[in-house]
A and B are shown apart, each in its own frame.
Chain A
């Protein structure tokens, strides 16, 4: 018999899909004891550093990182954690590709990971557009032609600093965080893919 309230039904279905021992397991299959299985959590760790350093940059506002040594430091942390994020994510992607990690009803896990990668690229792109230097001007003017040709230039204007900053610090990070959260829940639900 289903619960009389929607909160009760959500709890019932949530507990069925994610019993505590599956959501927060204390053991993993022995085949997980390989360095190639580490790169997913390394990507996640880099993402946390990106969010934290981005939060510090947001506290002081744009342009602070050009005029302050502390700002330079956090700007560099934000850049290099992004570099590591993509580095780890690509190694994670290669590892999962050669494991055919979509096996065993894990297609949605693979798809959310792949889409996270694509949205992360868009997020990094808007970050490069909001550096407020000649590099961002060059990238913005070059990208403007391409995006106009694709037809979305009127809605996604890479020369509009305010719009790109909002996409970079609100919309796209939210999408990436939701995708990564869903990806991790799916890994918990289906388990870590065994080697071929």
Chain B
């Protein structure tokens, strides 16, 4: 399982960075930040299942 994950996301390789002038961020950190923004947006727009608690 670890080998499969490693093959997909390259956990053993050198980390990748985005660099432009003063701006420097690792791809891993950027992925987490983008994922948080996506989850935040989905949490606002997706309907919540009300079920029996609706009142």
| Chain A interface residues toward B at CB < 8 A | 27-28, 30, 33-36, 38-39, 83, 87, 90-91, 94-95
Contacts and interface: CB of A to CB of B under 8 A. Distances in A.
B54 A30 contact: yes
Contact of A36 (B35, B36, B44, B50): B44
B24 interface: no
B29 to A, nearest CB: 11
Interface of B: 32, 35-36, 39-40, 42-44, 46, 48, 50, 53-55
A90 B39 CA distance: 11
A39 B54 contact: no
Contacts, number: 36
A18 to B, nearest CB: 23
Residues of A contacting B: mostly: helix
A97 to B, nearest CB: 11
A36 B43 contact: yes
A82 to B, nearest CB: 12
Given A27-B53, A91-B39, A94-B40, 12 more contacts: A33-B48, A33-B54, A34-B44, A35-B42, A35-B43, A35-B48, A36-B43, A36-B44, A38-B43, A87-B32, A87-B39, A90-B36
A35 B44 contact: yes
